[in-house]
Amino acid sequence: MWRDARLIAAKDLRVEWVSRVLTTQVVPFGLLVLILFGFGISPDLQTFEPGEATSKVAVLEQVAPGLFWLAVLFSALLAIGRSFAIEAVDGNLDALRLAGLDPAGIFLGKAGAVLVELLLLEVVLGFGSFVLYGAPLDNAVLLVTVVVSATVGIASAGTLYAALAAGLRVRDTLVPLLLLPVLAPVLLGASLATEAALFGPASDGWPWLAALGAFAVLYLGAGILAFGSLLEDS
């Protein structure tokens, strides 16, 4: 299983390296979303900081965690779609079935490649958020662990659901519909934990981190079990 996973992940990353779709299209898209949030939610809107009666902060800064994760989610839809678009070549899926690769390995390989791509995306979008929204940073360790565990969950669930729609012409409209309700709890937990990591107290964030970790483990398991069944064509 691990050998097959490494093979698939290396191949997916090599395709990305050569085609540069992520770096030239998906990352700019994510940045664009961050900027558009500023258009949609006026940067001039101010509100009182929670618990403070006197100091005001920009609404945009307060909601920065949620906006960051929304931008990540939308970009992830593109990255995950791309992961399966390269397999949509005529005969490719058949060849994967004939190759006798362990389906769990294929799942882990594809999810792993998506994970790497999303983490790189998040580094860029993270800097973008700090710059555009001006949020502080209270606990970096919490932030990093939250980002990693949430992304593992996104990559696993995304790969599982994209497999469900693989080979279908309606894949691009179906996957968002299926995936986003599933990732709603991840959005929730990641935003709250990120909020704790940025504004403090960090103790608010650790429980959500645990929940994100559980979600990630659950979907890794589900993918390993179900991918074989989804890959079958008959």
Partner 1 sequence: MPAVSDPVVLLSQAVSLLGRFPALAGADLRVDPGEVVLLQGPNGAGKSTLLRLCAGLAAVQSGTAEVMGFDVATRAGRRSVRRHVGLLGHGSALYDDLTVEQNVRFWTAANGGESAGVDAALERLGIGGRLRTVSVRNLSAGQRKRTAMAVMVCRRPRLWLLDEPHAGLDQAGRDLIDALVGQAVDQGATAIVASHELDRAAGLATRVVQVVGGHVA
Partner 2 sequence: MTTTGVKGSSEHHDAGNDRSAHTGTRGSRTLGIVTLVSVAVLLLFALVVSPPEATQGDAARLFYIHVPSAIVCLYLAFSITLVGSIMYLWKGTIGWDLIAGSAAEVGVLFLFFTLVTGMLWGKPTWGTYWQWDPRLTSTAVSFVLYLGYLAVRRLDMDPVLRSRRAAVLGIVSFANLIIVRYSVQWWRSLHQGPTLDPLDMQISGVMLFTWVFGVFTMLLVFSWLLLHRFRVAWLEHQLAEAGIDVAIRERRNEAGGDAALGGAI
Strands 56-58 and 46-48: antiparallel
Q: Is 144 in the site for partner 1 (CB under 8 A)?
A: no
Q: Which is nearer to partner 1, 95 or 123 (CB)?
A: 95
Q: How many other CB atoms are found less than 10 A from the CB of residue 19?
A: 13
Question: Of these partners, partner 1, partner 2, none, which one is at the site of residue 97 (CB under 5 to 8 Å by kind)?
Answer: partner 1
Q: What gap in Å lies between CA 60 and CA 66, rounded to an integer?
A: 10
CB of 50 to partner 2, least distance (A): 10
The Cα 105–Cα 21 span in angstroms is 24
Question: Binding to partner 2 by residue 85, rule CB under 8 A?
Answer: no
Interacting positions 192-221 with partner 2 (CB under 8 A): 192, 211, 215, 218
Residue 44, interface with partner 1 (CB under 8 A)? no
Site membership for partner 1, residue 97 (CB under 8 A)? yes
Tell me the three state secondary structure of residue 166. Answer: coil
Tell me how far apart the alpha carbons of residues 203 and 197 are, in angstroms, rounded to a whole number: 9
Distance CA 211, CA 188 (A): 10
Q: Where are the alpha helices (H) located in the chain, listed in sequence order?
A: 2-19, 21, 27-40, 59-62, 64-85, 92-98, 103-133, 140-164, 171-199, 205-231
Q: Does 49 bind partner 2 (CB under 8 A)?
A: no
What residue 192 binds from partner 2, partner 1, none (CB within 5 to 8 A, per partner kind)? partner 2
Query: For binding to partner 2 (CB under 8 A), which residues are involved?
Result: 160, 164, 168, 170, 174, 177-178, 180-182, 184-185, 188-189, 192, 211, 215, 218, 222, 226, 229-230, 232-234
Query: For binding to partner 1 (CB under 8 A), which residues are involved?
Result: 4, 7, 11, 14-15, 18-19, 86, 89-92, 94-101, 232-234
